[in-house]
A = this chain, B = another copy of it.
Amino acid sequence: MNRPLAYTPSTPLGRKLCSYMVLTDEERNFLSELERNVTKLPARADLLQQGERYGTVRVMRDGWAIRHKALPDGRRQVVNFVLPGDIIGFYCNLFETADHGVTTLTSVEVASFAPDRIFELFKRFPRLAAALAWSGAKEEAIIAERLLSVGRRTALERTAHLIVELLKRLSLVGLADGGRFILPVTQEILADALGLSIVHINRTLRRLRDIGLIEVAGQQITVNDDKQLSSVGQFDELYLHLIRAPKRLEHALDQAPDRSRAMP
């Protein structure tokens, strides 16, 4: 492991952005300052309630959460899963009011900072701003793919697709090992993520188990045959945009970086 300690940020956000581009000292310092204020919360806590005014920006350091939207009568859609390193409503914080809620699934560790710092970031660190824009675009791509799933894939396909997606995303942050990962999620939440009923999710998981594609032991999911599971889910990882450092990002920002005004 190549790990020059001074240059590997210990914060999930820093680590995430590091995978996009080489950070300067100033940038790293700024990021770790952002993540200094850390809070712990239990499972099933609301980090944000639908309709609430935005307060602070949060970065998930450890644990899982969901972003979800609800209808007045209680029907609910899980929009996305928030995994370690993800930012909670970065751009949304530019809005006045939250159009979705965020709830923890496990006990979590989150860092919080004031929305003002976003503007500071835009003014002082254009490269970070662009990198965060990139990461925001990735989130949008994931949601669009989920829309495709819910709109056009069958229950079996959707479920297979989500399992593969989570496996890939967790692998990226070192939380899945050999097709095995912990899914701290009830079947109700799975149902709300996939636009299905609890009963049908249950039957669908059972089918996937019966075919032998996955194994379930408590919260632990084991993907036995990820090729076949991917093909059942018509999974094409294009949308995850995994390619590490988008060359054009790095390239364009590095020439004439105009560092003169950083940290005045």
Contacts and interface: CB of A to CB of B under 8 A. Distances in A.
A234 B151 contact: no
Contacts of A260: 261
A145 B69 contact: yes
Contacts of A140: 91, 136, 139-140, 143
Interface in A52-76: 67, 69, 71-73, 75-76
Contacts of A141: 92, 95, 99
A103 to B, nearest CB: 15
A147 B94 contact: no
A245 to B, nearest CB: 11
B152 A71 contact: yes
Contacts of A130: 94, 118-119, 122, 129
A73 to B, nearest CB: 8
Given A123-B258, A144-B69, A238-B51, A150 B153 contact: no
A97 to B, nearest CB: 6
A195 to B, nearest CB: 3
B123 A77 contact: no
A48 interface: no
Interface string A133-169: 1101101110111111011110000000000000000
Contacts of A100: 144
A156 to B, nearest CB: 14
Contacts of A123: 126, 253, 256, 258
A193 to B, nearest CB: 8
Contacts of A76: 152
A77 to B, nearest CB: 4
Contacts of A31: none
Interface string A180-214: 00000000000010110000000000000000000
A256 B123 CA distance: 9
19 contacts: A69-B239, A71-B152, A71-B234, A75-B153, A77-B148, A91-B133, A94-B249, A95-B134, A95-B246, A96-B248, A100-B144, A119-B252, A139-B140, A143-B143, A146-B147, A147-B147, A147-B150, A150-B151, A152-B195
Given A76-B152, A94-B133, A97-B238, 16 more contacts: A67-B144, A69-B148, A69-B239, A91-B136, A91-B140, A92-B137, A97-B241, A99-B241, A100-B144, A119-B252, A122-B126, A123-B258, A129-B133, A136-B137, A147-B147, A151-B192
